[in-house]
Amino acid sequence: MHDDRLLTEARLNRFVADRLLPAVYARALPLTVTGWNVPDEPVSFAEAVDQDYVPVVGGEPWGAPWSTKWLRISGTVPAGWGAEGRTLEAVVDLGFTIEIPGFQCEGIAWRLDGTIAKAISPRNQHVSVDLLGSGDGIEFLVEAAANPDVARGFVFAPTPLGDKATAGALPQYRLGPIVLAERDLQVWELCQDVGSLNGLMHVLPVDLPRRSEILRALETMMDVMDPTDVSGTAVAGRAALAEVLSRPAYASAHNVVATGHAHIDSAWLWPVRETIRKCARTFANVLALMNDHPDFVFSCSSAQQLAWMKEFYPDLFVRIKAKVATGQFVPVGGMWVEADTNMPGGEAMARQFVEGKSFFRREFGVECRETWLPDSFGYSGALPQIARAAGMEWFLTQKISWNQVNRMPHHTFLWEGIDGSRIFTHFPPVDTYSSELSAAELAHAQRNYREHGRGTLSLVPFGYGDGGGGPTREMIAAAYRAADLEGSPTVSIGSPAQFFAQAAAEYPDPPVWLGEMYLELHRGTYTSQANTKLGNRRSEHLLREAELWAATAAVRLGMEYPAGQLKRLWQLVLLQQFHDILPGSSIAWVHRDAERNYDAIAGELYPLIRETVQALAGAGDEPLLVNAAPHERAGVPALGIGPMVLPDEPVRITEADGGYVLANGIIRAAIDANGLLTSLLDYATGREAIAPGSFGNHLELHRDTPNAWDAWDIDEFYRHNVTSCAAARSVTLERMGREPVVVIERLVGSSPVTQRIRLAAGSPSLSIQTLVDWQESEKLLKLGFPFDVRADRSAAETQFGHVYRPTHTNTSWEAAKFEICAHRWIHVAEPGYGVAVSNSNSYGHDVTRAVRSSDQGTTTTVRLSLLRAPRSPDPFTDQGPHGFWVTVRPGAAIADAVEEGYRTNLEALHVRGAAPVQPLFTVFNPALVIEAVKLAEDGSGDVVVRLYESLGQRSTGLVTAHFPVGSVEVTDLLEEAVAAPAGVVPGPGGAELTLRPFQLVTLRFRR
């Protein structure tokens, strides 16, 4: 037989493009269109419907970036249209391209009664006339959003489109045809048959008989059909394909559970205000699909997005609730947003689940059991414990498939956190959270699956995502055809819970992955958009203080606890922790919004804290220190208010070689004529912390031009180009009260830098403030400290503990971690001696080691990443003033690092009052750190305490309440009673604790 395969495939492509697809709509006629341009920000339907609309013609330009245009569309259905086998649809082309749906203009169709019918998007332009109402006439409104294509093919070139202030006013789009059309159902179904078979054929080996059988069936289909009468011969064409479509799958075929999905980024290349409309558009689409396909299931994460629907689209929210009740619309994830997990603090990470799960329970009666984070940029080793403490049983992501170097060895496994908690985890081997259920994607999932021979099942989230849109009827048709099809994995539509239950049952003893899941990509997100990072860190600590003092005042004074205000502010902070906001990878508009939100949060919390503290302290003139930290400070107990104990020994300062030496009897620091730290010694050990021949407080400027993903990525070759910024313009001495401050002026590139080095009396650490007026482009600024420590690993704070990472590069896994995330502190040590570096608002770090040729000693260098200057998606990232506070503590153990982290981030508050205020709680062992003190979520007035073991060792202690307590019970994160774990013994007025390393415990003290 002659090989005419390529010719036949070419014939098929032409037949589909020229004959089949144009015949889907048998006939069409133009609709009447008028329009109204919204002057500024989007308006409600009620405001839009009564405006004066003017005629609009096809091809008319419209849509300045981020603007909105309302269209009024009307027409009459001709007699005889909509006969059996044909459905009537309005087809609206707003000027789309078919590429990257969700990243360009979109619309939503409104009925005249003010309810939403369906969305309109590039690959989903139709609206069924049945959805718009009955009768011979149709009339509806389209709210068209002129969202600009900021991505522009992801070339990462600078663009002004990401900020409304710079985007300009030129129209972005031209209106295409807007018509009433008849869809020929047989032709449409034939297109789905051909699409599925053609896709399957191309993923099968050329020498497999099944591939040739499909090709010949497609050839027969073309032969039996009349290209001049596609509609009349479509049934014959489908009959020619029926046999090859009915062949059952191999018995050993991989099994796929497909769940509808949309992954709507809560902000990214669009602002939050547009995300709200994207959610409405997407959810309207899936509700329409559910009416047509009762077996269709859609999985929706992010309580925040559904809360927006309740607030802004109440009718849509009611319809969503109805579909939740039928099991078709499935809330998943149990978090407020799909958060970044590297940078949020421990309590913030816990509150993601508290707020998310509470919303799903309250609004839908749903108990989420799967943690759903398909697109976050790496996963903290503390997450398994936090998720399990929130009642989660399963975890899903796929982002690790983006690793640049190392491939994860599993797709289904147990993930073990830093405390020993384990959670059943799945990475969809389809390697996307926005599948179209194409044959190529399904074949990739089967081929890529790492658990063959042990497991048979994987999950495929399908539907257009990132910018939203969700599943389409074509995707559902593809799922039906692949349900049991020879050569393809089997496909069943279901929920994540159904998948996880089946997967866990068939794979009872999966392998284990221990510790963090580090994404070998997007390392720049620890540093980009420094103001967003600062706002997050500051807000987390302000909320800690506000809750602590409000709870103390409620118990001590009977003051009203501001529960509603605190919940609202927590939810706003949690929103900013979305995985494209806190990481700094969004357009300028998003980060300006975040900065305004953080300022508003601080504007509410600072007065709340001060007013509450003043009420606790009472009227008087005694100077008092307010200590919100979980450790004693200046003689004031943890979580209490009292008079400071001033240190006996003042700070001594001497001049040496054009620089200064500071000493306070605990440590001594030498600063040279360039403001560099040449010596740092603690008297207790007598050891010098700075490596011989080196200096700390070293600013270094690197070229920062990643291959792609500018705001996201730092590529390893940034180290190839570095400029030492060691020279100072001036080094002078000032006074801050009784204490001397060394002031250094520098120029880093074109950016003025002022540093203030301070040693406080009685302090075990040296404080360095760095103020930068950042004027660089595509540069990375680091602050380094080379220590005379032979450290083979570093310890970096994460949620409720710390994670160790090697400082060497023995393997590719270690070499890939050239930029790492730390929260408030990082610690390097050899047996018996260590140094801690704390920070106020930095997350990116690197730790390297070198053996000195002079004495064979080891220099371990800790560097903090202070600022970057990527040009995409925000071309002016971080331009302007910034401040960073760093402390260096020599002779430090892990416990000292933990204390230093709180000291650096919980600024001292001084008041005058009548008397000290006793803490609500004391802890016998400082290794057990109280992270949160608050009143219970249920309004009962009970006091909730969350604490953790902070040193990474078994620790024993006693938590005692200093107020009348009825009983003490152990709870989950949602403050519901659970059986006390081993080592936790509640008693009258307190609890005895023997905690494993990093164990997290929540206690409820009933009043």
Residues known to be catalytic: 375
DSSP state of 16: I
Judge residue 959's burial from the number of C-beta atoms within 10 Å of its C-beta, 0-12 exposed, 13-18 middle, 19 or more buried: buried
Buried b / exposed e over 963-987, threshold 16 CB at 10 Å, is: eebeebbbbbbbbeeeeeeeebebe
Helix axes 346-364, 530-557, angle to 10 degrees: 70
- Identity (one letter) of the amino acid at 462? F
What are the beta bridge partners of residue 882?
A: 772
963 three-state secondary structure? coil
Question: Which helix or strand (DSSP H or E) is residue 825 part of?
Answer: strand 825-830
Judge residue 242's burial from the number of C-beta atoms within 10 Å of its C-beta, 0-12 exposed, 13-18 middle, 19 or more buried: exposed
Kind of pairing between the strands at 178-184 and 457-462 = unpaired
**DSSP string covering 446-490:** HHH-TTBTTB-EEEEEESB-BS--B--HHHHHHHHHTTT-TTS-E
- Identity (one letter) of the amino acid at 676? L
897 three-state secondary structure? helix
906 three-state secondary structure? coil
**Pair of tokens at residue 779:** 């540069």
Cα–Cα nearest to 469, from 99, 146, 122: 122
- Identity (one letter) of the amino acid at 534? L
Q: Tell the residue number behind the tokens 């009666």, with chain if given.
A: 365
Instruction: Name 1004's Cβ contacts closer than 8 Å, sequence gap at least 6.
Output: 936, 942, 943, 944, 968, 969, 970, 971, 975, 977
Write a three-state SS string for 78-129.
CCCCCCCCEEEEEEECCCCCCCCCCCCCEEEEECCCCCEEEEEECCECEEEH
On whether the CB atoms of residues 120 and 94 are closer than 8 A, the answer is yes
Distance CA 200, CA 79 (A): 41
Distance CA 576, CA 705 (A): 27
On whether the CB atoms of residues 348 and 540 are closer than 8 A, the answer is yes
Kind of pairing between the strands at 394-396 and 370-372 = parallel
Question: Which helix or strand (DSSP H or E) is residue 413 part of?
Answer: strand 412-416
